[in-house]
Amino acid sequence: MATHNELGEKGEKLAINFLLEQGYDILECNYRFEKAEVDIIARIDHTLAIIEVKTRATRHFGNPQDFVKPKQIQRIVKAVDYYINSNALDLEVRFDIVSIIKTLNNYEIEHLKNAFYHF
C-alpha cells in the first residue's frame, strides 16, 4: 500500500477515535453514493455531522482543509441528501472537516465545524 494511503487510513482512524471521545455516534464510514465518498457520517445530539477527513504529513503545501474542492463538496452534499432521504432522518445537518497533520511522533487534530460554509 502506498504511504499516502496508509497515512489517510491512519488519519481516518484517528478522526473516528477523536469524534468518539467527543461524544459522537459514528453511523457510517466511507459511505459511497455515485461518485462521492463521505468519510464519516456521525450523530451528536440532534445533528447529523458529515465529516471529511484530511490528513497530511506536512503543512508545506497548505492546510489539509484547503484540499476540499467545490466539486467534491457538491458530490458530498448529493450523497448526504440521498442518505438522509433513504433513512428518513429528520436532523440538523452540519458539514465538518477534521484536519490532521502528522508531526514528528504525533498527530495534530483540528475539528472545523460548519467548514463548508467557509469556502
Distance CA 52, CA 98 (A): 6
Residue type for 92, please? E
pLDDT digits (tens, 9 = 90+) for 50-83: 999 988 776 666 665 677 778 888 999 999 999 9
Q: Grid coordinates representing 25?
A: 455516534
Distance CA 50, CA 77 (A): 9
Q: Which CATH number fits domain 3-118: 3.40.1350.10, 1.10.10.410, 3.40.50.300, 3.50.50.60?
A: 3.40.1350.10
What is the rounded end-to-end Cα distance, in angstroms, of the chain?
32
What's the mean per-residue pLDDT of the chain? 87
What are the structural domain ranges in the chain? 3-118
Q: Grid coordinates representing 7?
A: 497515512
C-alpha distances (whole Å) from 74 to each of 52, 113, 117 are 13, 18, 12
- Predicted TM-score (pTM) above 0.75: yes
